Amino acid sequence: MVGPGRVRGVIGALGWVAVGSMVANIAAYLVYVGAGRWLLPGDYGQFARLLSAMLILGVPALALQAVIAREVVRGRAGNLRRVSITTTLGVLVTAAIAVPIVAAVADTGIPATVAALAAAPLLVIIAAGQGVLQGRQEFRALAWVLAVVGALRSVPMLVAFAVGAGPAGGLAAGTLGAVVAAGIVGVAVRATGTGPLHPGRVGRDGDADGDGARDRVSALSVLRASQVQLVLIVAVSIDLLLSRTALDEVDAGIYGLGAVATKAAFWLPQAIGVVLYPRLADPARSRTSLRQAVAVVAVIGVLVTVGAGVAAPLVPIVIGEEYRPLVGILWLFAYTGAAMAVLQVVLLAAIAADRTRVAVGTWVAVVIEAVVIVTVVHSIVTLALTAAITVTVAAVGTGVYCLRVMSPTPAPPSEPETSDV
């Protein structure tokens, strides 16, 4: 039975992380608004395309944070510094190789592309520190870090755009901000101590549980987690990316506005996954924590879906009469985002349990969705239904699998180990 003190602690952690994430998201939103105001249309398109490229290069950073948080919880933190360095160098090399490719494919200038992709290895460093804070359940510190990192990456870009620096200047300013942010994250990690939350027993060679190489995390763990994070990003955006192939220009625009409700429903419960992830990584509590996380996210999803249905008649009044087709189906977009939030929780649980092969099912679902969109879908309603059905199947299948593989038995007691991240 969960005591009231623990419940208050979880609620407090959710509040802190939600506020920190909100500050970071608002800062990012202001960058988009400022770029639209101060950049010419062609420059804005270049800026947006480079941010999309950064989304892909940022996948290893997200994966590293999840892996480090998991290993800190389990006390297997002996070589995380080396894994962090290896991942950072791998992303650095990948970014360097990607510069001419992205510049050619996305039609972006080399200076702007370099300025954008140079931030990728810095994001890995930042993510490593955030993973340590998350694993230690230092959520107040993590919330401050999320807010500060978001501001340091966004505000310099906004200022650069305002003074006429253009895409290259703005992206370079954002990368410099990321340098400062990485230093601040390092300070926050050192300030919160060195011990993991639920450490494993230390063997003679310094490895957790005395199992030597078996318990030493490798860069392969980050690679496995990366494909899980990548499939989530693809699943979130595939319908919107392919909307123009299935719909005409007007309907694709209407669908794009509906997808705003999808993104809102998806991002709203993000703090829950961040706060409960250490519990998902703890074998003694993983199964129960997954049920609790899914239940909370699902309840929020129901409320958001109902709210979208109630608010839908305001769309043509607030946005424009041309968007009236969304009135009857806005709830469906919100439902898709809510189901995507559930899928994110169960995919995080798969990373936490180191059962990343489960993502194969989601990859298959996404591929089938893409084929259906390209070959069958020809209306806004059928496209929205296709996205909703796909994410529902993926979330249910992944959730059932994760519940089956998670250990129902408590982990043995253990002695502390020191993290060297």
The 3-state secondary structure of 305-335 reads HHHHHHHHHHHHHHCCHHHHHHCCCHHHHHH
Of 215 and 344, the one with more pLDDT: 344
> Taking the CB of residue 238, how many other CB atoms lie within 10 A of it?
18
**Range of lowest pLDDT (164-178, 219-233, 338-352):** 219-233
> Taking the CB of residue 231, how many other CB atoms lie within 10 A of it?
23
pLDDT exceeds 90 at position 251: no
- What is the per-residue pLDDT for 5? 59
DSSP string, 154-176: HHHHHHHHHTT-HHHHHHHHHHH
CA distance 302 to 305: 5
The answer to whether 135 and 197 are in contact (CB under 8 A) is yes
pLDDT exceeds 60 at position 420: no
Residues 6 or more apart whose CB falls under 8 angstroms from that of 375 comprise none
Q: How confident is the model at residue 219 (pLDDT cuts 50, 70, 90)?
A: confident
Which tokens hold the place of 382? Answer: 């059928």
Mean pLDDT of 330-354: 93
Q: How confident is the model at residue 363 (pLDDT cuts 50, 70, 90)?
A: very high
Residues above pLDDT 70, as percent of the chain: 88
- What is the per-residue pLDDT for 407? 58
CA distance 217 to 222: 9
pLDDT in tens, 173-207: 999 999 999 999 999 999 987 554 444 433 333 34
CA distance 226 to 220: 10
CA distance 94 to 156: 25
CA distance 232 to 243: 18
* CA-to-CA separations, 78 to 68, 125, 189, 207, 260, in angstroms, rounded: 11, 17, 16, 6, 42
Q: What is the pTM of this model?
A: 0.80
What is the identity of the amino acid at 192? T
Q: Please, what is the angle between helix 219-241 and helix 249-267, to 10°?
A: 140
Q: How confident is the model at residue 216 (pLDDT cuts 50, 70, 90)?
A: low
Of 229 and 410, the one with more pLDDT: 229
pLDDT exceeds 90 at position 209: no
pLDDT exceeds 60 at position 417: no
- What is the per-residue pLDDT for 79? 81
Q: How confident is the model at residue 19 (pLDDT cuts 50, 70, 90)?
A: very high
Q: What is the rounded average pLDDT for all residues in the chain?
A: 85
pLDDT exceeds 50 at position 415: no
pLDDT exceeds 70 at position 314: yes
Residues 6 or more apart whose CB falls under 8 angstroms from that of 37 comprise 161
Of 261 and 174, the one with more pLDDT: 174
pLDDT exceeds 90 at position 6: no
Of 144 and 208, the one with more pLDDT: 144
The answer to whether 134 and 71 are in contact (CB under 8 A) is no
* CA-to-CA separations, 147 to 84, 152, 225, 293, in angstroms, rounded: 22, 9, 25, 23
CA distance 152 to 180: 7
**Range of lowest pLDDT (69-78, 340-349, 353-362, 399-408):** 399-408
pLDDT exceeds 70 at position 3: no
The answer to whether 246 and 378 are in contact (CB under 8 A) is yes
> Nearest Cα to 315, choosing from 326, 307, 306, 329?
326
> Nearest Cα to 255, choosing from 348, 317, 323?
323
